[in-house]
Structure 1
Amino acid sequence: MAKKEERNNGGEKKGGSLLVLILLVVQVITLAAVGGLFYMVLKRPAVAVVPGDTAVKGKAREAGKTAVMVNLKPFVVNLADEGGRRYLKASIDLEVSSEGVASEIDKNLPAIRNAIIMILSSKSFADIFDRAGKDRLREEIKYALNSKLTKGEVRQVYFTEFVVQ
């Protein structure tokens, strides 16, 4: 009977050491995952460049001209998704070639806003959810507005707010 107790004690030690080994491996894997996550978070750039801020100033300095900006009131439109449950809220600033273009936009504001609303509401979430989609949308708006202007051009379209819900 003493031999049976020794075997049970020996068996418990093996089972206990196996449990400790498994817990140790799980803990090492968990620490590695947490360390990798922190590395990924810390590796991101701390400062984001806002396109309408330094990029516009840099282009204006290169050209020797000051940038003329036109701020449009926010747009809220339903997207062209099935069911019509998603909507887009976008604030847009336009960089234009001259003050004359800015006054032309101001005089024709209803037609300008209508053109932008028609473009925005024709898009689905899949069309605009990534950066490439937003870039295509900016170019489409720029092209549509330039076709309506006679005194100059829209150089750049900036989204200062872009929320899809």
Structure 2
Amino acid sequence: MAKKQAPPTVPPTGPEAEPAGKGKLKLILVIVVAMLVAVGLSIGGTLYFMNKGGDLGDDKAEEAATTASGKQPAIYEVLMPAFVVNFSNKGRQRYMQVSIALMSRDQAALDALKVHMPLLRNRLVMLFSSQDFEALKTPVGKEMLRQQATASVQELAQKEIGKLAVEQVLFTNFVLQ
């Protein structure tokens, strides 16, 4: 009994040559690459148009803000170190720590005021140490102290440099103990 031998198989050539698994893998790879390119182009186009329009818009918005309100942008000068003063309250020693920032719209006037910083700090320390602890515990008392500090700094600026260099004194940190 003779067994039949099958003719030798020749590997197919052409489109039928690839197994089904490799064809699907290539298709998925092409789709993923196409999606990545589309997302990249979308992000790139968005950034290009936002940046292009943003530069012109920022300049126009800044000019409009200064001309419409007539004011320059605010400049802040933080006074370091923070003020720490002590005062007596009903025989008990109390402490206050205040961090201050000066708000101005004129950098030249603010720089001129920096020359008189020891005098300014002295005025503020004297003002802070003369306060009543009970009044400072309330928000109204803190706001009154801020307004007094603003008036004191403006008075010093007017006297020393001839103009109001500081628009407001701002408390950035306020601790009572």
TM-score where L is the length of structure 1 = 0.59
Partner of 1:113: 121
Residue pairs, 1:123-138, within 5 angstroms: 123-138=131-146
Residue 104 of structure 2 is matched in structure 1 by 96
- Identity within the alignment, %: 30
Bigger CA drift: 109-118 or 96-105? Answer: 96-105
Q: Give distance in 2, aligned partners of 1:127 and 1:63.
A: 37
Match of 1:68 in 2: 75
2:169 to 129, 143, 157: 157
Is the CA contact (8 Å cut-off) linking 2:113 and 2:165 kept in structure 1? no
Please identify, of 135-144 and 77-86, the stretch whose mean Cα deviation from structure 2 is larger. 77-86
Structure 1 contact 79–87 (Cα < 8 Å) conserved: yes
Check whether the contact 1:119–1:141 (CA below 8 A) recurs between aligned residues. yes
Alignment partner of 2:168: what SS? strand
In the aligned structure 2, how far is the partner of 1:65 from the partner of 1:107?
A: 23
**Superposed structure 1 runs of 4+ greater than 6 Å apart:** none
Unpaired segments of 5 or more residues in structure 2? 1-64
Runs (5+) with no aligned partner, structure 1: 1-57
CA contact (8 A) 2:74 2:103 kept: yes
For residues 64-122 of structure 1, the C-alpha deviation after alignment (integer angstroms, 9 at most, x for no partner) is 42101111020000034232511000000010231122112210010000000000000
Cα gap change, 1:143 to 1:83, in 2 (>3 Å): same
1:112–1:145 contact (8 Å) kept in structure 2: yes
Q: Distance in 2 between matches of 1:114 and 1:99?
A: 22
Deviation at 1:62, TM superposition (A): 4.4
Report which of the two has the higher share of helix.
1
CA distance in 1, matches of 2:77, 2:135: 26
Q: State how many pairs are aligned.
A: 107
1-side partners of 2:95 and 2:132: how far apart?
9
Larger Rg: 2
The separation in 1 between residues aligned to 2:92 and 2:103, in whole angstroms, is 32
What's 2:11 paired with? Answer: none
CA distance in structure 2 between the aligned counterparts of 1:76 and 1:94, rounded to whole angstroms: 17
